[in-house]
A = this chain, B = another copy of it.
Amino acid sequence: MATVNTKTGQAVDRTVLDSMLRRRMFYTPSFEIYGGVSGLYDFGPPGTALIANMTDLWRKHFVLEEDMLETSGHVDKFADWMCKDPKTGEIFRADHLVEEVLEARLKGDKQARGEKIEVDEEKEAKKKRKAKGTEAKKLDDALVKEYEETLAQIDNYGGPELEQLIKKHDIRNPVTGGEVLPPVSFNLMFQTSIGPSSNMPGYLRPETAQGQFLNFAKLLEFNQQSMPFASASIGKSFRNEISPRAGLLRVREFLMAEIEHYVDPEGGKKHSRFDEVKDTELALLDRNVQLSGSTNLTKMTVGKAVETGLVDNETLGYFLARIQSFLLKLGVDPAKLRFRQHMANEMAHYATDCWDAELQTSYGWIECVGCADRSAYDLTVHKDKTGAPLVVRQARAEPLRIEEYQIDLEKKKFGPRFKKDAKTVEAAIEALSQDLREKLSLDLEKDGKIEVDVEGVGSGKVEIEKDLIKIEKRTRVENVREYTPNVIEPSFGIGRILYSVIEHSYWSRAGDETRGVLSFPPAIAPTKVLLVPLSTHASFKPLTQRLTSKLRKAGVSNRVDDSSASIGKRYSRNDELGTPFGITVDFQSVQDNTFTLRDRDTTKQVRASEDEILQAVKSLVEGDETWEDIRKRLPEFTSQEIEA
C-alpha cells in the first residue's frame, strides 16, 4: 500500500478511516442482519446526502453552467434477454413477452369460466383479446397451475429457460401472432455497436453513453440544429470490476455521470469559452514521460498544453480545466490530482486523445474521470448499422462551387443498346473517377467513342459511342454541408470520486486517531449546521426549535443534537460526519438571543445576534463568504468547549 498523508501530514490509516465511516453510517453492508451479501453496500444517511450533494453540484457545474441537454439512460437493461420478431423487426424483452402472453391466456380462461374479472383487468382482457390466440378460452386446470407458477417466478429465468418456455407454450408476438426468434442477451444483440472503447478493463466507459448517441438526431433537433452542444446523463451502471472484496471503492454498481459534447471536426475543434480557462494550471503526466518510465508531473497551463499540441484541441483542453475546477469544488486535494494521458495502446484506434483525471489515495492513483476525444466513431458506427442520419446538415455561409466532369447518358438509346446489362454498365460509368472522366472526355472528342471497364459484361470492356454519352466539365453549387460531429466525452465515476474526496478530506486532530475530522466543503457536507443546546435544560428547547425551523426555511440542512453527551463529544461526532458549522445555545442565548457559531476545521467560535449568526451561516453555506471573512467581522468567542 502506498503511504499517503492527510493534509495535516499524518499517514492515512485506512482501517481507522473505514471503521469511522461505518460507525457514522456513511455506508453499511447490505442485508447485514441476514449475514450480509459479499460486496454489496447500502449508503446510510451521510453517504446518501454526500452523493446527492455531489451530483447536484455536478448538475450545476456542467449541465446548468454549460447549458447541456440532460437525458436518462437505460443502463440496467443491458443484462436482459431480448427476442426479435423477424417479420416486424420488433424487439421484446423475453420475460415480458412470456408474461404478457401467459397473463392474457389466464384472463381468457377466467372469462371462459365466467369468473369475475376486476375492473382494471377487464379492460386489459378486452385489449388482449384483439391479439391473436388470446380469446376467451378455457384452459386445463393443470395448465392454469403451470402458467401461474411460471409467472410467479418469471424474474428468475435466464435465456435458456425463457427459450424453453417460449417453445413449450408457443409464445408469439401478441399483436401479429408471428413467431419470435430465440432470446439473445441484450449485449450480444447490439454487440458490434456497443463494444468497450479500448483494450483495457474498461471501467470508465459503461454502455450508458450509447443511449445518448442513439438519440443524437432527436437531441440535435431539440437543440434546433444548433452546434456545438452537449448531452449529459447520470445513471447507474453495473460494469464488472476486478475484485468485489475491496470495500467502498470497488463495488459492482456505479453511479456514472457522462457528457457527450458534439463538435464540428473542421476548424480545429475550438471552444468559445476557452479563453476563460486558458490560464488554468494542470499537473500533466503525458504519454512520452510515461514511456520514459517516469511519473514526473509537468505543470502547465491548459493554453500552453493545447498550443504545444500536448493536449489535442481546445475543446478537450476546456473540459480538462472544467473537470479540475469541479474536483477542487468537491474538496479534492490539488496535490493529489493529476491528469494522465492514455498510452497509444490504451486508446481505441479511433480516439484522437484521452486523459484521465487521477486522484491519489491509499489505494494508489485511481482514475476517477476520463476525458476522451472519440472522433466520429460512435455516431458513424450507429449510422452505418441503422441508416439513421446521425449527421449535422448545415447551410453553407458561402455556397461551395465544385468544378467537375459530369456525364449525361442518352437513356432512350442506352437501354435498347445494352439490354439486360444496361444497369450494370450505367453503374460502372457513374463510378468513374474525376481523373478517368477527364481522360475519357478527351477520347470521346478525339475518337467519337470510349472504352469502359465493366466487370461481368462481355469481355469486361464495353465500347460506347458518342451518340449515347456526353462528358462535360461543369460547376456544381453545394449549399448544404453534411458532417458527422466528433465527440468529446468526459465521464465521471461518482463512487470513486466520492471515496477519494472522503480520503482527501480526512485528518485527525493533533494526530489523535480517535479524533477524526472530515473537512468537506459546505457545498457537499451532508449536514451543514449542528445545533447544540448546552444541556437538556428546558429553556433551550424553544430556541433550538426556532433556529432549526428558520434554517430549514432558508434551505440549510441542519440537525439538532440535544442528547445528554458533553458539548465536546457532540461536536466530535459531527466532526466525523463532516458537519462544517455548529451553533451553541447556552444560558446567555436565553437572556440576550446571541449564539456562538463554531467552525469545524479551526474549532474557533464567534458570538453574535440570532440574525447575524443565521445570515453568516447562509453566506458560508452558499459560498459567498469564508470562515476567515466571518471571523474578521464578528466578535470572537473564547470557548470553554471541552474536547472529548
User: Which B residues are CB-close (under 8 A) to A187?
Assistant: 153, 155-156
Question: Residue of B at shortest CB range from A225?
Answer: B563
B214 with A32: CB separation less than 8 A: yes
A158 touching B155 in the complex, CB below 8 Å, given contacts A45-B70, A73-B42: no
- The answer, yes or no, to whether A93 is at the interface (CB within 8 Å) is yes
User: Which B residues are CB-close (under 8 A) to A91?
Assistant: 31, 34-38
Q: How far is the CA of A44 from the CA of B232 in the complex (A)?
A: 10
- The answer, yes or no, to whether A3 is at the interface (CB within 8 Å) is no
A96 touching B39 in the complex, CB below 8 Å, given contacts A25-B218, A187-B156, A382-B33: yes
A25 with B222: CB separation less than 8 A: yes
B214 with A34: CB separation less than 8 A: yes
19 new A-B contacts at CB < 8 Å, known A38-B92, A81-B156, A160-B160: A30-B77, A32-B214, A38-B97, A40-B93, A42-B73, A44-B71, A44-B218, A44-B219, A48-B70, A49-B70, A67-B548, A76-B76, A96-B252, A100-B243, A119-B364, A120-B364, A153-B185, A153-B187, A156-B188
Interface-located stretch among A138-146, A329-337, A552-560: A552-560
Near B by CB (< 8 A), chain A positions 25-69 give 25, 28, 30-40, 42-45, 47-49, 51-52, 59-60, 64-65, 67, 69
Looking at chain A's contact residues, is the secondary structure mostly helix, strand, loop, or mixed? mixed
Near B by CB (< 8 A), chain A positions 543-597 give 548, 552, 555, 557, 559, 561, 563
- The answer, yes or no, to whether A224 is at the interface (CB within 8 Å) is yes
| Minimum Cβ distance to chain B for residue A151 (Å) | 9
Q: How far is the CA of A386 from the CA of B36 in the complex (A)?
A: 12
Residues of A participating in the B interface, judged by any CB pair closer than 8 Å: 24-25, 28, 30-40, 42-45, 47-49, 51-52, 59-60, 64-65, 67, 69-74, 76-79, 81-82, 89-93, 96-97, 99-100, 103, 119-121, 124, 127, 153-161, 185, 187-188, 190, 211, 214-215, 217-219, 221-222, 224, 226, 231, 236, 238, 240, 242-245, 252-253, 364, 382, 385-386, 388, 390, 548, 552, 555, 557, 559, 561, 563
| Minimum Cβ distance to chain B for residue A212 (Å) | 9
User: Which B residues are CB-close (under 8 A) to A153?
Assistant: 185, 187-188
User: Which B residues are CB-close (under 8 A) to A52?
Assistant: 59, 70
- Could you say which of B33, B73, B185, B552 contacts A156, with CB atoms under 8 Å apart? B185
Q: How far is the CA of A65 from the CA of B552 in the complex (A)?
A: 6
| Minimum Cβ distance to chain B for residue A50 (Å) | 11
User: Which B residues are CB-close (under 8 A) to A71?
Assistant: 42-45, 48
